[in-house]
Amino acid sequence: MKNILILGGGFGGLVTAENLVKELGDEVQITLVSPQRTFTFYPALVRLAFRQLDLEEVTFDLEKKLNELNVRFIEGEVLHLKPSLHRVQIAGKEFNGDLSYDYLVIAMGRRLATEKMYGFFDHAHHLLGVSAAQKFGKAVDAFSEGDIVVGLSPDAYLPVPVCETAFTLATRFRDEIADEKISITAVFPETIDKAFGGAELSKELTAAFEKHNISVKEEFSLRMISKNEIRSKDDETISFDLLMLLPPFRGQARLSENRITDELNFVNVDQHMRVEGMNNAYAVGDIVSFEGPKLAHIAIGHATIAAENLALEIRGEEPTAVYYHEIASIIDQGGADSIYLHYGMWDASVYRLKTGTMWSLVKRVHDKLWRKKHKTA
């Protein structure tokens, strides 16, 4: 029986496991390794921060879910890939040592390179985990007057929560903004369009920001943060009393020893999601070296293609499923200015942009159904 080892228990790892179970059932043994026993539904963290959702609604028990699928779970962290031996070295509470595999799926997500942004640790909030989101929520609760800045650092490939946070803050502090007691500025390292992989949506998004009295600063390439000020590479400054910033993203440095990564340590793959330069290995999700924003639905797209190709390979066939790099995303403003974007990163003729309250509802219902489907019985 073939043995498939999945590294990482986020959207990419979990959806790969689910699809493999669907395709191959008991024909294979699947093992998933993750340092956390809990799955976090990241797209809901903005709503968690603002107490629109409870913690139980944005997390679920990953081990229990995998048990239901008959997938073995190992709590642990990947230390080294040893592709010539078809083994991976794991450090965990219950297991320490090498796990062997016939096929490998790397789904270890992105790393927050907070060390690349001077002052980040001391002065910035972020939203890239449950406790960070809750901490930011508490800081917002305690805030009554001053300047709020939300933004993206260079190489932070995640504009959606920045926009959603700005809109939620603007709604919450509508009166204080009108009285000029509070201001909100959204900062992007390049243009808004570039933050969304080149898709043209700046007209709609800028109009929505304007309507909510949110100032926008594009091409502000952040270099450092001090107590009440962010500074760009051009030495421009913006002052703040409350800062929510997404730090630079990187892949996993430990994978560079295997010579499968780009200069930011994201893994290079071919159009079938196979790792370039490593046999019997696939990579999915944020860890993959594709340009543009890093999104859950993209991780799910990778996972679907990787699982289809793995099933073909295991049955002795050529992996023929091909991945097309597209963004399909909703920026939930909570009302009529919500935006749906569908954009082909490799084919700009794939472009659809819609606005309206419906898209806010679609995102909330879609997310709720996804979480419900993945909750354990």
Ligand X SMILES: Cc1cc2nc3c(=O)[nH]c(=O)nc-3n(C[C@H](O)[C@H](O)[C@H](O)COP(=O)(O)OP(=O)(O)OC[C@H]3O[C@@H](n4cnc5c(N)ncnc54)[C@H](O)[C@@H]3O)c2cc1C
Binding residues vs ligand X (CB under 6 A): 7-13, 33-36, 42-43, 45-46, 77-78, 107-109, 127-128, 158, 160-161, 285-287, 294-297, 299, 329
Q: How far is the CB of 206 from ligand X (least distance, A)?
A: 19
CA 263, CA 352: separation in Å to the nearest integer?
Answer: 32
Smaller CB separation from ligand X, 39 or 173: 39
SS3 207: helix
Identity of residue 188: F
CA 70, CA 321: separation in Å to the nearest integer?
Answer: 25
Q: Report the half-sphere exposure of 260 (CA within 13 A, side-chain side).
A: 25
Smaller CB separation from ligand X, 127 or 311: 127
Smaller CB separation from ligand X, 151 or 232: 151
Counting beta carbons within 10 angstroms of the beta carbon of residue 244, is it exposed (0 to 12), middle (13 to 18) or buried (19 or more)?
A: buried
Smaller CB separation from ligand X, 286 or 313: 286
Q: How far is the CB of 360 from ligand X (least distance, A)?
A: 12
**Could you tell me which residues are beta bridge partners of residue 339?**
331, 355
CA 362, CA 346: separation in Å to the nearest integer?
Answer: 26
Smaller CB separation from ligand X, 12 or 292: 12
Q: How far is the CB of 318 from ligand X (least distance, A)?
A: 26
CA 184, CA 176: separation in Å to the nearest integer?
Answer: 11
Smaller CB separation from ligand X, 269 or 287: 287
Q: Can you read off the two tokens belonging to residue 10?
A: 């986020």
Q: How far is the CB of 284 from ligand X (least distance, A)?
A: 7
Q: How far is the CB of 319 from ligand X (least distance, A)?
A: 20
What does each C-alpha distance from 198 to 174, 201, 269, 372 come to in angstroms? Answer: 31, 9, 22, 33
Q: How far is the CB of 47 from ligand X (least distance, A)?
A: 10
Q: How far is the CB of 179 from ligand X (least distance, A)?
A: 29
Smaller CB separation from ligand X, 71 or 107: 107
What does each C-alpha distance from 38 to 5, 251, 376 come to in angstroms? Answer: 19, 21, 12
Q: How far is the CB of 181 from ligand X (least distance, A)?
A: 27
Q: How far is the CB of 42 from ligand X (least distance, A)?
A: 3
Q: How far is the CB of 185 from ligand X (least distance, A)?
A: 19
Smaller CB separation from ligand X, 117 or 232: 117
329 Cβ contact partners less than 8 Å away, ≥ 6 residues apart: 160, 196, 293, 295, 297, 340, 341
DSSP 232: E
Whether 196 contacts 166, CB under 8 Å: no
SS3 368: helix
Q: Can you read off the two tokens belonging to residue 224?
A: 């450092």
Q: Are strands 28-34 and 72-75 parallel, antiparallel or unpaired?
A: parallel
Render 14-34 in DSSP notation, one character per residue: HHHHHHHHHHHGGGEEEEEEE
SS3 338: coil
Smaller CB separation from ligand X, 10 or 154: 10
CA 80, CA 258: separation in Å to the nearest integer?
Answer: 9
Smaller CB separation from ligand X, 117 or 299: 299
